[in-house]
With several copies, the nearest count.
Chain A
């Protein structure tokens, strides 16, 4: 399991290649990448706050549960905080598994839990005004399938 919470950008391609290269006997690698959307138009900045100390611990708990539930090779989670612009990469997960179903399920599980159970909060700054992104009921509901 590898977890990185960082302010710096990350390189999706380099991470995906390095992750895939260090697997053996894994027939499937899945990656998910989250990207800043300028939904209304005119987004100046997205600022992501987190809870230092708790964040890594919460993500490690989620990743550990994924490793328990599915037959996986490894799990990678990278999540940025601080100031981001539209089209910047926010975060990524990668999973490897002997079989594709496990890799997909684990990646979806990680995303559902990272959305609602890891201590990050997104604020959008656009046209001089700012607002916290509201949690969506559908994201909370998504947890019930696991």
Chain B
């Protein structure tokens, strides 16, 4: 599964993408796994209220199931327009 990071999430983690082999069944479980990787992941994922998530390029929430997901992206609230 590809895990993508954008904006300051990408900057804190230090790269735009990880390919992970995860048994997480929800986004929240995936976040727990990522937090355990390294300090910079723990920092990036410290406050979930400051983050948004998309699964397979659709906005969703942290309780979303990951069964069959190929791409999960984490990023701050969007500031387009």
Binding site for B on A (CB under 8 A): 34, 49-51, 53-54, 57-58, 79, 90-91, 100, 111, 114-123, 132-135, 140
Contacts and interface: CB of A to CB of B under 8 A. Distances in A.
Instruction: List the 7 closest pairs (A to B, CB-CB), nearest first.
Output: A120-B80, A135-B77, A121-B7, A54-B57, A115-B81, A118-B80, A114-B81
A120 B6 CA distance: 9
B80 A51 contact: no
A107 to B, nearest CB: 12
Contacts of B3: none
A34 to B, nearest CB: 5
A115 B54 contact: no
B73 A115 contact: no
Interface in B49-81: 54, 57-59, 73, 75-81
A121 B79 contact: yes
A135 B73 contact: no
B76 A51 contact: no
13 contacts: A50-B80, A51-B75, A79-B80, A111-B81, A115-B79, A115-B81, A117-B59, A119-B78, A121-B6, A122-B80, A132-B76, A134-B79, A135-B76
A115 B7 contact: no
Contact of B80 (A57, A91, A132): A91
Contact of A49 (B7, B57, B58, B77): B7
Interface residues of A, dominant DSSP: mixed
B31 interface: no
Given A51-B4, A57-B57, A34 B81 contact: yes
Given A51-B54, A132-B7, A120 B79 contact: yes
Contacts of A118: 78, 80-81
Given A51-B4, A91-B81, A100-B81, 9 more contacts: A34-B81, A114-B80, A115-B78, A115-B79, A116-B78, A116-B80, A120-B78, A132-B7, A135-B78
